[in-house]
Amino acid sequence: MNQLKQIHAYTLRNGTDFSRFLIVKLLEIPNIPYAHALFDLIPSPAFYLYNKLIKAYSSHGPYHHCLSLFNQMCLQGFSPNQHTFTYLFSACASLSSPRNAQMLHTHFIKSFFQFDMYALTTLVDMYAKLGLLAWARQQFNEMRRRDVPTWNSMIAGHARCGDMEGALELFGLMPRRNVISWTTMISGYSQNGQYGKALEMFMVMEKQKGVKPNQVTIASVLPACANTGALEVGQRIEWYARVNGYFKDMIVCNAILEMYSRCGLIDMAKRVFDEIGSRRDVWSWNSMIMGLAIHGKCNEALQLFHEMLREGMAPDDVTFVGVLLACTHGGKVEEGRKLFESMEHKFSITAKKEHYGCMVDLLGRAGELHDAYELIQSMPMKPDAVVWGAMLGACSFSGNVELAERAAEYLFELEPWNPGNYVILSNIYAKAGQWDGVARLRMLMKGCQITKAAGYSFIEEGGQIHKFIVEDRSHPRSHEIYALLDEISIRLKLHGNPSHLDYAVEQLCIVN
């Protein structure tokens, strides 16, 4: 950079013009503002310089400069080429502006580049990223040829909009797939909370010839392992990541750390955290603090928070969710109050609904229900279902019917489809001996056709993930499982040990 500044100073002193050379070199660094300032000094910039600058802004932002330069280019009498449109479509996707997208599309059609594969793929990708799936699909269907990136863009668009069925349909129609195709599906399932399907897709991918998971694949599937408790698969993925050098990637490291934390192996999570060492970012600290808090190690979580501050790492809003959760599990009301107040005063972090929910839970568990209710009333934003849910949960501990009814009233309005709120209030009524309230709620649920969804669990066995509910017979080998259960039941009854019978029943139900 200093050398380029010296060249610029030399040209100014000697009257020579190396502006074009300097702009190209500055964009390679990149120092885009400096390059743009030099560009503005050129009376008639060349077309290729417009393209170079638009490309730089499309990659690094601010993206609106791409459109300004495009307008300036057109006023100078230059006609954009297919590369110009590729950069502009990419920038427009980041701007989240459907109006500009359609304006650029019109210019693209008038410029007769409709058959350029790369530009068309970027056009499909732009509409898909903007959530305009109908427009993206129309362009996709009209393409004479489609390469793998085109299919991937369309699949990613469906996944981003939560339409995993549409994504899977396209995935099945692909003539060829690459690692990005598989990763897009795995990531889509994971981001849409369909963790079991994400794991299934990854396991199918492992069996494919010529397709090797990369660090993005690893980072996409590990959250699925964390949320389903698929520890065996997670450990296998960690080994794979280490062997292939992906452990150098901080996203992969943090995903492994969080996987161990969520799977209950907090000591393994701490081992990974310590191994990351000086490379730790705020996500690493947050995952470790949250893991300790969830597992009841509140003092260790708070100690780690203070260590984080001593090392000069600035906490964010997620950090405070973790430390407030630690205070909740440890019953540290006063420390929780101080931390909550320090967010704004000391760290300039505005409290969000999640933080208010943690504080309501903390105060409610400590029996300070009225303080919790007053805190909700003082919130600068409208309380959501999480906050009122924390209030209702707190009322279930103390049996406060009056405040429970107020919380439930809001919850019934916010999420009328959620049977859990009705069940909690019904239990509070039952605990207080108000059986008329229980009967009234049951009638209300029946009238609104609200039914309690059956809980389910995942278990990993033989490299596969099995989903099951109570008395589930959907497993293809359920008749064998129940036959074995009956045999064990008979044997245990003969030995007269009912406690062992209960344990065996529990284990066999899990296998099913």
461 forms beta bridges with 464
Please list the alpha-helical segments (H only) found in 130-178.
133-142, 148-160, 164-173
At 391, is the pLDDT very low, low, confident or very high (cuts 50, 70, 90)?
very high
Q: Are 35 and 23 in contact (CB under 8 A)?
A: yes
Report cis status (omega within 30 of 0) of the bond before 315: no
Domain boundaries, given as residue ranges, for the chain: 1-38, 44-176, 190-275, 466-511
Question: For residue 232, how far is the Cα from the chain centroid?
Answer: 22
Pick the residue with more confidence: 507 or 216?
A: 216
Give the range among 51-60, 274-283, 352-361, 458-467 with minimum mean pLDDT: 458-467
pLDDT reading at 200 higher than 80: yes
Mean pLDDT over 304-314 rounds to 95
For residue 8, the model assigns a pLDDT of 46
Q: Is 214 exposed, middle or buried (0-12, 13-18, 19+ CB in 10 A)?
A: middle
- pTM for the whole structure: 0.76
Q: Return the pLDDT at 43.
A: 82
Q: What is the pLDDT of residue 512?
A: 44
Please give the Cα distance from 264 to 226 (Å, whole number). 9
Which of residues 21 and 104 earns the better pLDDT score?
104
Q: Is the pLDDT of residue 507 over 80?
A: no
Q: Which of 1-10, 263-272, 340-349 has the lowest mean pLDDT?
A: 1-10
Q: In which element (H, E) is residue 458 found? A: strand 457-461
CA distance 457 to 229: 10
The pLDDT value given to residue 457: 62
Which tokens belong to 53?
């600058």
Mean pLDDT of 50-59: 92
> Which positions ≥6 away from 396 have C-beta within 8 Å?
404, 424, 427, 428, 431
* 194 vs 457 pLDDT, higher one: 194
State the Cα torsion 291-296-299-305 to the nearest 10°.
20
The string of pLDDT tens digits covering residues 222-263 is: 999 999 888 889 999 999 999 999 999 999 999 999 999 998
Question: Residue 449's closest CA among 482, 483, 416?
Answer: 416
Over range 336-359, report the average pLDDT. Answer: 93
Question: Would the pLDDT of 217 be above 60?
Answer: yes
Task: Given CATH 1.25.40.10, say whether it is the number of domain 44-176.
Answer: yes
Confidence of residue 484 (pLDDT cuts 50, 70, 90): confident
Residue 238: predicted pLDDT: 94
